[in-house]
Amino acid sequence: MAGGSQFLRGIFVSNRLMWCALAFGGLLVLPGIRGSGKGMGPTPSGAGPQTLRTAAQSHHLLMGTAADADHLSEKPYSSILATEYSVLEPENEMKFGPIHPEPTTYNFADTDKLVDFALANGMKVRGHNLLWYSQLPVWIVSPAQPWTPAALNKILADHIATVVGRYKGKVYAWDVVNEPFNDNGSLRSDVWFDKPGIGFAGQGTRMIEQALRWAHAADPDAKLFVNEYGAETMNAKSNAVYAMAKDFVRRGVPLSGIGLQLHIGPGFDQQDSLDGLTKNIRRLAALGLEVQFTEVDVREHDGSSFSQSEQANAYKDLLDACLRQTACTLFQTWGFTDKYSWISDGWALPFDKNYRKKRAYFAMLSKLKSRGNDGPRPPHSR
Ligand code: XIL
């Protein structure tokens, strides 16, 4: 974050003032952070105003968000996080660089804060991620001596065993491998695959299989996902993801599902994209896999009222596409407030920079409240 400037501090102070004024003025009923005990969900519906979290419960759908440990001390941030969402995913803290900054040093403190917060508020935790080409520490990217595949193999095996092992029973699902494919469906060339790789260069998805097997050994109960962007509709990348998934399911490789990131703009909200998304979910579901929307955000052209309506429609249509298929078990956004979105000028999330609910929020809530013709969804427990 660009932090520290007068400007940012000004926003922070005025947010706090506004929040207090609203709360004390009785305009806003803060539901409070519930769940005094571990594993407790929010209070039964009817006990407070409906939130995305409680409304989604009746569909057996999890509502998730990425979150950042630095912001937990900010009251509106933590209140919204705990009341509106049932899944928390660390936005950066569990990535290889932040969590394993030196060969023999792990930094679990920030992740622990998020995990403790989630469990204290009856939320599930999604781990993100174990194998990715980005946000790697210097010691991996620029070693004093070039890595051998055998050395890298051992490093990754130990890393996965250590991180998954530490959060065994606490992290319910992992993005084990993040963004392994190129848009044309080939495997991305990176340190883990072929530069020099962990010993499976040129062997297609063998590297992904290995990472899944290591994660499964460390926590046999955790759900394991491969997470991708640009593989939402029917295209070369999603075909490659599907081919991998089919092969893994056939051979009993421990894969629970596919994460579709869904960082989109309003242009995605067209019948052909939505049909493609539906078809793609359906073919993955037919393999017996879950599909999770893992990083949804919808960029607006600007903050205008027109853009906000376009954005609200896109959120509603994505949620609709998920609700219509029982294999779709999670609708998760990449953060929730525009204040901290990685899309810095995109107004991409359901709460604005002052934590006010946007049209996108209300569109999602009313979609969740209406049963439409999607019928009751059975609980999923794969
Ligand atoms: C992003 C974070 O949101 C940023 O804070 C960070 O600077 C870069 O990474 N796909 C992913 C996420 O899987 O991990 C990325 O998160 C966004 C794209």
Taking only the tens place, the pLDDT of each residue in 138-148 is 999 999 999 99
State yes or no: pLDDT of 11 exceeds 50.
Answer: no
Least confident of 56-60, 338-342, 372-376: 372-376
Q: What is the pLDDT of residue 380?
A: 56
Q: What is the pLDDT of residue 345?
A: 79
Q: What is the pLDDT of residues 292-331, one digit of tens each?
A: 999 999 999 888 888 999 999 999 999 999 999 999 999 9
Determine which one of 91, 93, 179, 209 is catalytic: 179
Distance, in Å, from the CA atom of 55 to the CA atom of 167, rounded to the nearest integer, reads 29
Q: Which residue has the higher pLDDT, 25 or 371?
A: 371
Active site (annotated) includes residue 310: no
Q: Above pLDDT 70, what percent of the chain?
A: 85
Q: Is 179 a catalytic residue?
A: yes
Any atom of ligand 1 within 6 Å of the Cβ of 292: no
What does the pLDDT read at residue 47? 61
Residue in 290, 295, 300, 310 annotated catalytic: 295
Q: What is the DSSP string of 288-345?
A: T-EEEEEEEEE--SSSSHHHHHHHHHHHHHHHHHHHT-TTEEEEEES-SBGGG-SSTT
User: Does ligand 1 come within 6 angstroms of the Cβ of 91?
Assistant: yes
Closest residue by Cα to atom 3, ligand 1, is 342
Asked whether residue 373 carries a pLDDT value surpassing 90, the answer given is no
> What's the chain's average pLDDT?
88
Q: If you measure from the C-alpha of residue 63 to the centroid of ligand 1, how many angstroms do you get, rounded to a whole number? A: 19
The tokens describing 114, both together, are 């998020």
- Indicate the range of 2-16, 210-224, 236-250 predicted with least confidence: 2-16
Nearest alpha carbon to residue 326 among 375, 260, 363, 366: 375
- 3-class DSSP state of 62: strand
Beta bridge partners of 124: 87
Give the whole-number percent of the chain exceeding pLDDT 90: 81
In the prediction, which pLDDT does 185 show?
Answer: 98
**pLDDT the model gives residue 303:** 82
Measured CA to CA, the distance from residue 308 to residue 169 in angstroms comes to: 40
Q: Compute, in angstroms, the gap from residue 226 CA to the centroid of ligand 1.
A: 15
> How far apart are the C-alpha atoms of 238 and 11, rounded to whole Å?
41
pTM comes to: 0.88
* Residue 131 or 1, more confident: 131
Q: What does the pLDDT average to over 112-131? A: 98
Phi, psi of 40 (to 5 degrees): -80, 135
Mean pLDDT, rounded, for 210-224:
98
Over residues 33-43, mean pLDDT? 35
Helices (H) and strands (E) in the chain, counts: 12, 9
- Ligand 1 close to Cβ of residue 68 (< 6 A): no
149 and 159 Cβ atoms separated by less than 8 Å: no
First to last CA, the chain: 38
Answer yes or no: is pLDDT of 46 > 50.
no
What is the 82 CA–ligand 1 centroid distance (Å)? 22
User: CATH number of the domain at 31-369, out of 3.40.47.10, 3.20.20.80, 3.40.1360.10, 2.10.60.10?
Assistant: 3.20.20.80
* Structural domain spans, the chain: 31-369
| pLDDT level of residue 376 (50, 70, 90 thresholds) | low
- What integer pLDDT is reported at residue 240 of this predicted model? 99
164-215 tens-digit pLDDT: 999 999 999 999 999 999 999 999 999 999 999 999 999 999 999 999 999 9
Q: Is the CB of 175 under 6 A from ligand 1?
A: no
